[in-house]
């Protein structure tokens, strides 16, 4: 078709997807094209603005590496990550809520026994974390795999430190036969998300702060249960109501108790949702 204009090009672009073999790919691309074209018309997008948008996305990709995912960070600050989590993690109210994955998870974390120190030299005040992992029926989930990771006292994850060649504040352990877990680490602190890339420029342009409230990351996996990706947040953090990535849920807020020896303790029980059986 020749001589397409701003009113006819959208349908033509959609029509050219007619031969797409995968119906889900066709459905997603059709909606994407329609909404993108409607967006451009709604804001009367200029060629210069579109070029700047492409440059922004290009820079976002260039900032990504094996230790940092700037596109995840972009999705997080736009609320898209949490929207996707919310749409895809409907659970009974008794189950632990999911939240954003974040850009600093890496595979290959060291394995620890219950009670071990996963901080492994990370700076911060000592903290012991413990709790249980159970199913919706209340039964313990013995042997559940638990990935944990967190920032140190300076608000940095180990993968953000060029001077490190070992994991800190990150590890894998397993619940015992009673579904219990326990590990030592450092007190979680609030920290700003990285602002040295395109996402930081976006926050500055929109007058938004980059802060995340103090939290620990958890990913819990066990046969017969849905994988849970979540955080546990410190209840006294001032950023709970304005988390830069929209990840806070009231049910995930817990007290870090200061003990007589000056260390801290967190106890949190997780409830997993069973996998639906067809």
Residues identified as active-site: 157, 191, 212, 215, 217
Q: Are 138 and 92 in contact (CB under 8 A)?
A: no
Residue partners of 249: CB distance under 8 A and separation at least 6? 97, 99
CA dihedral 98, 118, 243, 265 (to 10 degrees): 90
Cα–Cα dist 199/179, whole Å = 39
Rounded CA-CA distance 171/152 in Å is 14
Residue whose structure tokens are 């709790």: 131
Angle in degrees, CA 30, 32, 34, rounded to 5? 70
Residue 265 CA to chain centroid, in angstroms? Answer: 24
Residue whose entry in the numeric block shows the structure tokens 């922004």? 56
Structure tokens at 36: 């993108």
Q: How far apart (Å, rounded) are the C-alpha atoms in residues 132 and 180?
A: 4
Quote the CA–CA distance of 147 and 220 in Å, as a whole number: 6
Taking a C-beta distance cutoff of 8 angstroms, is the pair 247, 238 a contact? no
Extended beta strands in the chain, E state: 126-135, 145-149, 170-174, 180-186, 191-192, 211-212, 215-221, 228-234, 253-254, 257-258, 264-267, 270-272
């Amino acid at each position: 078709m020749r001589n397409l204009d701003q009113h006819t090009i959208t349908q033509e672009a959609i029509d050219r997807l007619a031969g797409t073999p995968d119906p889900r790919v066709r459905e997603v691309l059709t909606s994407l094209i329609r909404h993108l074209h409607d967006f451009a018309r709604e804001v009367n997008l200029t060629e210069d603005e579109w070029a700047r948008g492409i440059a922004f996305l290009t820079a976002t990709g260039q900032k990504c590496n094996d230790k940092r995912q700037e596109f995840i960070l972009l999705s997080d600050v736009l609320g898209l990550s949490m929207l996707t989590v919310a749409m895809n993690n409907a659970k009974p109210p008794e189950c632990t809520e999911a939240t954003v994955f974040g850009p600093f998870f890496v595979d290959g974390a060291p394995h620890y026994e219950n009670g071990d120190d996963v901080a492994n030299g990370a700076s911060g005040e000592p903290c012991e974390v413990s709790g249980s992992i159970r199913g919706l029926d209340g039964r313990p989930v013995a042997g559940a795999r638990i990935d944990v990771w967190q920032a140190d006292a300076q608000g940095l994850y180990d993968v953000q430190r060029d001077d490190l060649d070992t994991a800190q504040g990150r590890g894998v352990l397993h619940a015992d036969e009673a579904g219990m877990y326990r590990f030592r680490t450092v007190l979680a602190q609030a920290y700003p998300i990285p602002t040295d890339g395109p996402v930081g420029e976006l926050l500055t342009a929109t007058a938004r702060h980059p802060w995340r409230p103090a939290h620990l990351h958890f990913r819990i996996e066990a046969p017969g249960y849905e994988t849970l990706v979540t955080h546990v947040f410190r209840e006294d953090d001032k950023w709970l109501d304005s988390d830069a990535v929209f990840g806070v849920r009231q049910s995930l807020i817990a007290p870090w108790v200061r003990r007589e020896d000056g260390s801290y303790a967190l106890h949190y029980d997780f409830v997993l949702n069973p996998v639906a059986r067809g």
